Each structure stands twice: as structure tokens, then as C-alpha cells.
């Protein structure tokens, strides 16, 4: 964006920059034999509360269908990165837990490259960026739910 500080960028230009950032960030996720959605799932299952370690909860978090979430989980189970653990209180519920191999793999998470760039910003800039992007995300999710 070559606009000066006094001239705000158009919404279209900002959206294009955000899409470009998203594309670059997404391309970082094709590493160590995983796809971006698989990295997202690993991050999710490694940090979620045990009660939220289900395909349905992951699908809701990732704003995707149960089918797509299930396919991602199947790949990670077949790679030995997630294990299924039945819930004794309700045999219909199966929790998914990352294996030691998955936790070791997350030490090389490509998202770290992206977050390192953000960490290099001033604290105030990080706060405002987080606040603004959260509002944009909420707006997009509301539009998606309304459709």
C-alpha cells in the first residue's frame, strides 16, 4: 500500500493486503508432510480442554463442516498424530488427543514464523491489530452465519 499516512487505504486495498497475508501464511503451513488445516487441527487438539477435543468442537472452532473436520482428523490419526479416546461416561463421545509425536512436531509449527513477525511489532500496534482483526473476523463470521 503506497498511500501516505494521512490518506487512509481503501477497504478494497486493505482486504487485498489481508488476503495476500493469508495466502502467505497459508503457504507456510505446507511443511513437514502436513497441510495448513492439519496444522490447525493439531494446534487445536493440543490446546483444547479435554471436553472440547471432539470432531464437532473442532469443526465449530475451525468454522468448517463436520465432514471436512472428520477427514482432517482421519488423516492425523492415520499419521499417528492423534489418538481416539472413548469417554467412559458416554461411549458415543470420542475425544482426540495429540500423541507425543504430534507434540514434538508442534515444536516446529510453521505458525511460529508468522507470529515472530507480529511479535516484532510495537506492543500498541500488536494490541490494535488484534482488536481490529477480531472485529473483522466477527463481522465475517456473522455474514457467513446469515448466508
* pLDDT tens sequence across 60-81: 998 899 999 999 999 999 999 9
CATH number for 36: 1.10.10.10
Residues facing residue 90 across a β-bridge: 87
Give CA angle at 113 (120, 50), nearest 5°.
110
Note whether 43 and 92 are same-domain residues. Answer: yes
Residue 134 lies in a domain: yes
pLDDT at 2 over 80: no
What is the domain count for the chain?
2
C-alpha cell at 67: 465432514
pLDDT score of 26: 87
Report pLDDT for 3: 46
Flag whether 140 is in a domain.
yes
Residues 38 and 102 in one domain: yes
Residue 46 is assigned to a structural domain of this protein? yes
Confidence check: pLDDT of 85 > 80: yes
Domain that holds residue 131: 110-147
Q: How many helices (H) and strands (E) does the chain have?
A: 7, 2
Same domain? 103 vs 125: no
Instruction: Indicate whether 15 belongs to any domain.
Output: no
Residues 6+ apart with CB under 8 A from 76: 38, 41, 42, 82, 102
If asked whether residues 55 and 114 sit together in one domain, one would say no
- Are 53 and 36 in contact by the 8 Å Cβ rule? The answer is no
- Domain assignment present for residue 20? The answer is no
- What is the value of pTM for the model shown? 0.79
55 with 88, same domain: the answer is yes
> Same domain for 89 and 145?
no
Amino acid at each position: 500500500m503506497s498511500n501516505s499516512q494521512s490518506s487512509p487505504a481503501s477497504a478494497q486495498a486493505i482486504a487485498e493486503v489481508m488476503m495476500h497475508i493469508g495466502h502467505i501464511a497459508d503457504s507456510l503451513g505446507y511443511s513437514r508432510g502436513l497441510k495448513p488445516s492439519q496444522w490447525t487441527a493439531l494446534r487445536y487438539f493440543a490446546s483444547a480442554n479435554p471436553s472440547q477435543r471432539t470432531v464437532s468442537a473442532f469443526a465449530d472452532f475451525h468454522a468448517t463442516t463436520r465432514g471436512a473436520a472428520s477427514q482432517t482428523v482421519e488423516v492425523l490419526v492415520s499419521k499417528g498424530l492423534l489418538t481416539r479416546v472413548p469417554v467412559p461416561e458416554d461411549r458415543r463421545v470420542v475425544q482426540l488427543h495429540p500423541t507425543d509425536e504430534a507434540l514434538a512436531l508442534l515444536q516446529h509449527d510453521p505458525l511460529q514464523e508468522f507470529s515472530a513477525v507480529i511479535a516484532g511489532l510495537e506492543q500498541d500496534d500488536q494490541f490494535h491489530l488484534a482488536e481490529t482483526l477480531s472485529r473483522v473476523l466477527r463481522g465475517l463470521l456473522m455474514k457467513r452465519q446469515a448466508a
